[in-house]
């Protein structure tokens, strides 16, 4: 049992008390009472005719208040303040050896795993019971249908000799705080101010500034005796901007800011300067030249190093269970889900000296905040650090209670839709250099190769941070999809830098990370909404019925990364014409 400080809010210790005092709001109050009572009744009595009863049942309720504002060119375009209660149920029938999960049905659209179920907002015991009763009934019937289909599919197929569920110790933990409905005006004023910056930039065609302040309280109870509540606020601000060069090339850039609370953000003047800096860089890129093709040393700095790690390597750190497919057509798809890193445990995946840890228990690293942490994961497993890579060798993968060959058990990383996701990923090296040493190493590499210049990348695009989402890297089959390089520079041996208009990586893969030749000793903390594409496909193979539709944040701390050789090319694809008229404000 552990007490944990939840972002400065008072935390309470659950000392394994078996009794649930109905008058103890700090233990989840009426909501938890209704969950517990309906769970007990269902475990006891829920059974369809002579079919099997559930062997596992859990409820999760996420009470989410969200305040959001959007501004364009200095004026508010939208503001909202909403509250929702989302319900997510997990019913398992059969036994831990073989249950209704890890099965990919041939029809996945409309699966209840990805549907949102909402509950009344009032703390009304009777009504919460009614909604839990009706939804449990539906979830149980769905589980029965699924296990019947799975058993039918297994008539003609064998499967990996693995159970479907690992047992877990009961765990009680309660952290609570008064419900918070963040006021919308401060958020609105902030986006107005940041968005007004673009009135000084004739070179920027379109921009959008958005801020959200979300407060989430979660309640969880399962039939193994685990129960917890947790609560966390999150503030997110983004400024997106788009322009076109004279030849029509679409150029985009963004700034993101994360905090737990509005008052934890840097001063407004600092935010304004960041947005101004982004707009300045974006405007300048309109006149920068392209590089047709480049092969040679590439240095990824700060955000670019973190984003590259998140796009290429992070998805490989997740333990993905390949589900039983209902038919041959789905089998081709499920086979492609297999993570090649599952066979590389004990093998070198990074240079010597590199270590990678996932640590949801941290709130900061090297003096800067992290936002991927949590006290307990979605299965009720207490958060704990996991060693993923040590001295360059793969040691483990992030897992849920869904067993994977070669992985010991849950690492407490179930965060969304039943899938393991990273929390705070810390990439460290034993041989980090000072910035000057790295610059010298970079220069030596350039000269060794006989190149005129090397390339440094300071900003790698993120697929979610775009006004124009059609502007994405076109990845040939078989290549890892890496987004476009938005801030890349030629660096000459004399230290001179020259911006590149836009570029993309050619044929990069996780094995390129073994050829990192040098890193800095300092790291950059970067936070992003990390949802690998497989998540949605795999959600339907879990027992989850209903989702809170969240996108959890992942933080990553990574040093600057110097690659000995990567290939860059001019982006391929159609280029739209520039606008006919100029921006009316600057006309």
Partner 1 sequence: MRTPAIRTVLTGLALATATAVADSDEPPVLVALNAELARSMEILGERPEPPYFLSYEVTEQDSAAASASFGTLTYSYQRRSRFLDVDLRVGDYDLDNSRPIRNARRPRRTFTRVPIEDDVDAIRSVLWNRTDATYKQALQQLTRVRTDIEVKVDAEDQSADFSREKAQSSVDRPARLAVDLPDWEAKVRRYTAPFGAYGEIYRASASLTGSTETRWFVNSEGAAIQTSEVRYRLSISATTKADDGMTLPRYESFSSFTPDGLPDDETVLATVERMIADLNALRDAPVVEPYTGPAILSGRASGVFFHEILGHRVEGHRQKRVDEGQTFKKKIDEQILPAGFTVSFDPTRRTLRDIDLVGAYAYDNQGVPAQRVDVVQDGVFKNFLMSRTPIEGFSNSNGHGRKQTGYQVVARQSNLIVEVDNPLTREELKARLMSLLEEQDKPFGLLFEDIQGGVTTTGRFMPNAFNVQPILVYRIYPDGREELVRGVDLIGTPLTTLSRVTAADDQIAVFNGICGAESGGVPVAAASPAVLVSQIEVQKKSKSQERAPILPAPFDETPVHTDGEEAAE
The distance of closest approach from Cβ of residue 513 to partner 1 in the complex, given in angstroms and rounded to an integer, is 40
E strand or H helix that includes residue 269? helix 268-285
Which C-beta is closer to partner 1: that of 133 or that of 492?
133
541-546-549 Cα angle (round to 5): 95
Contact between 248 and partner 1 by CB under 8 A: the answer reads no
Give burial (CB, 10 Å; 0-12/13-18/19+) of 560: buried
Contact between 256 and partner 1 by CB under 8 A: the answer reads no
E strand or H helix that includes residue 92? strand 75-95
Q: What DSSP string describes 194-209?
A: HHHGGGG-TT--EEEE
Contact between 276 and partner 1 by CB under 8 A: the answer reads no
The distance of closest approach from Cβ of residue 108 to partner 1 in the complex, given in angstroms and rounded to an integer, is 19
Contact between 24 and partner 1 by CB under 8 A: the answer reads no
Residues between 66 and 85 with contacts to partner 1, criterion CB under 8 A: 70-84
Cα separation, 57 vs 315, whole angstroms: 29
Contact between 549 and partner 1 by CB under 8 A: the answer reads no
Residues between 111 and 150 with contacts to partner 1, criterion CB under 8 A: 118-130, 132-134, 137-138, 140-141
The CB-based long-range contact list for 131-138 (8 Å cut-off, 24+ gap) reads: 131/87, 132/34, 132/35, 132/38, 132/39, 132/59, 132/87, 133/38, 133/42, 135/87, 135/89, 135/545, 135/546, 136/38, 136/42, 136/46, 136/57, 136/89, 136/91, 137/46, 138/112, 138/545
Which C-beta is closer to partner 1: that of 67 or that of 274?
67
Contact between 21 and partner 1 by CB under 8 A: the answer reads no
Contact between 270 and partner 1 by CB under 8 A: the answer reads no
Which C-beta is closer to partner 1: that of 77 or that of 472?
77
Which C-beta is closer to partner 1: that of 40 or that of 154?
40
Contact between 30 and partner 1 by CB under 8 A: the answer reads yes
Contact pattern from residue 183 through residue 212 relative to partner 1, giving x for each residue in contact according to CB under 8 A and a dash for the rest = ----------------x-----xx------
The distance of closest approach from Cβ of residue 285 to partner 1 in the complex, given in angstroms and rounded to an integer, is 19
Residue count at the site for partner 1 (CB under 8 A)? Answer: 58
**Of the residues 15, 45, 178, 269, which one makes contact with partner 1 according to CB under 8 A:** 45
**Of the residues 14, 27, 42, 505, which one makes contact with partner 1 according to CB under 8 A:** 42
Cα separation, 420 vs 532, whole angstroms: 10
- Token readout for 162 is 């693995």
Mark 356-382 as b/e (b = at least 16 C-beta within 10 Å).
bbbbbbbbebeeebbbbbbbbbbbbbb
Which C-beta is closer to partner 1: that of 333 or that of 585?
585
Count of alpha carbons within 13 Å of 403, Cβ hemisphere only?
A: 16
CA dihedral 428, 429, 433, 439 (to 10 degrees): -80
Which C-beta is closer to partner 1: that of 41 or that of 570?
41
Which C-beta is closer to partner 1: that of 33 or that of 535?
33
Stretch that binds partner 1, among 300-308, 353-361, 491-499, 573-581 (CB under 8 A): 573-581
Which C-beta is closer to partner 1: that of 65 or that of 311?
65
Which C-beta is closer to partner 1: that of 37 or that of 521?
37
Contact between 575 and partner 1 by CB under 8 A: the answer reads no
The distance of closest approach from Cβ of residue 41 to partner 1 in the complex, given in angstroms and rounded to an integer, is 7
Which C-beta is closer to partner 1: that of 206 or that of 214?
206
The distance of closest approach from Cβ of residue 78 to partner 1 in the complex, given in angstroms and rounded to an integer, is 6
φ, ψ dihedrals at 322, nearest 5°: -80, 115
Enter the DSSP assignment of 260. Answer: S
Which C-beta is closer to partner 1: that of 145 or that of 343?
145
φ, ψ dihedrals at 185, nearest 5°: -60, -45
Cα separation, 420 vs 319, whole angstroms: 7
- Which residues here bind partner 1, judged by CB under 8 A? 22, 30, 33, 37-38, 41-42, 45-48, 70-84, 118-130, 132-134, 137-138, 140-141, 199, 205-206, 576-577, 579-581, 583-585, 587
């Amino acid at each position: 049992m552990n007490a944990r400080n939840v972002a400065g809010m008072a935390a309470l210790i659950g000392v394994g008390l078996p009794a649930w005092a109905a008058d103890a709001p700090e233990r989840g109050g009426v909501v938890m009472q209704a969950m517990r009572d309906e769970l007990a009744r269902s475990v006891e009595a829920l059974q369809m005719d002579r079919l099997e009863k559930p062997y596992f049942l859990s409820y999760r309720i996420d009470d989410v208040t969200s305040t959001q504002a959007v501004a364009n060119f200095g004026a508010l375009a939208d503001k909202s303040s909403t509250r929702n209660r989302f319900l997510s149920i997990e019913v398992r029938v059969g036994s831990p050896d073989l249950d209704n999960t890890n099965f990919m049905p041939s029809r996945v659209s409309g699966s209840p795993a990805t549907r949102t179920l909402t509950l009344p907002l009032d703390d009304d015991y009777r009504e919460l019971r009614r909604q839990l009763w009706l939804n449990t009934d539906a979830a149980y019937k769905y589980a029965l249908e699924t296990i019947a289909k799975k058993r039918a599919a297994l008539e003609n197929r064998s499967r990996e000799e693995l159970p479907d569920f690992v047992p877990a110790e009961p765990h009680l933990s309660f952290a609570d705080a008064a419900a918070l409905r963040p006021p919308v005006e401060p958020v609105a004023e902030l986006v107005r101010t940041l968005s007004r910056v673009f009135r000084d930039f004739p070179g920027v065609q379109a921009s959008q500034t958005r801020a959200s302040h979300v407060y989430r309280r979660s309640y969880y109870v399962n039939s193994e005796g685990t129960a917890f509540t947790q609560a966390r606020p999150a503030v997110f601000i983004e400024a997106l901007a788009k322009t076109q060069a004279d030849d029509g090339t679409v150029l985009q850039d963004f700034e993101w800011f994360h905090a737990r609370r509005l008052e934890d953000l840097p001063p407004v003047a600092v935010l304004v300067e960041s947005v101004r800096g982004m707009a300045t860089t974006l405007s300048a890129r309109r006149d920068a030249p392209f590089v047709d093709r480049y092969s040679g040393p590439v240095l990824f700095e700060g955000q670019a190093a973190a984003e590259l790690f998140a796009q290429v390597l992070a998805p490989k750190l997740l333990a993905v269970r390949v589900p039983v497919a209902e038919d041959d057509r789905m089998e081709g798809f499920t086979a492609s889900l297999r993570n090649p890193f599952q066979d590389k445990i004990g093998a070198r995946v990074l240079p010597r000296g590199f270590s990678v840890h996932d640590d949801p228990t941290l709130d900061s690293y090297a003096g800067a905040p992290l936002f991927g942490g949590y006290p307990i994961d979605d299965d009720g497993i207490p958060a704990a650090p996991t060693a993923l890579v040590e001295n360059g060798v793969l040691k483990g993968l992030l897992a849920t209670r869904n067993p994977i060959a070669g992985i010991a058990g849950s690492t407490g990383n179930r965060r969304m839709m039943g899938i393991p996701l990273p929390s705070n990923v810390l990439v460290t090296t034993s041989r980090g250099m000072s910035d000057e040493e790295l610059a010298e190493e970079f220069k030596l590499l350039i000269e060794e190769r006989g190149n005129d210049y090397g390339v440094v990348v300071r900003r790698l695009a993120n697929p979610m941070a775009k006004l124009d989402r059609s502007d994405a890297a076109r990845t040939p089959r078989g290549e890892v999809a890496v987004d476009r390089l938005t801030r890349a520079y030629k660096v000459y041996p004399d230290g001179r830098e020259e911006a590149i208009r836009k570029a993309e990586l050619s044929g990069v893969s996780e094995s390129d990370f073994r050829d990192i030749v040098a890193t800095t000793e300092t790291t950059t903390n970067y936070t992003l909404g990390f949802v690998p594409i497989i998540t949605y496909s795999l959600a339907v193979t879990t027992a989850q019925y209903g989702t809170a539709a969240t996108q959890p944040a992942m933080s990553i701390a990574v040093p600057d990364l110097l690659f000995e050789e990567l290939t860059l090319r001019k982006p391929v694809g159609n280029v739209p014409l520039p606008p006919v008229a100029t921006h009316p404000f600057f006309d």
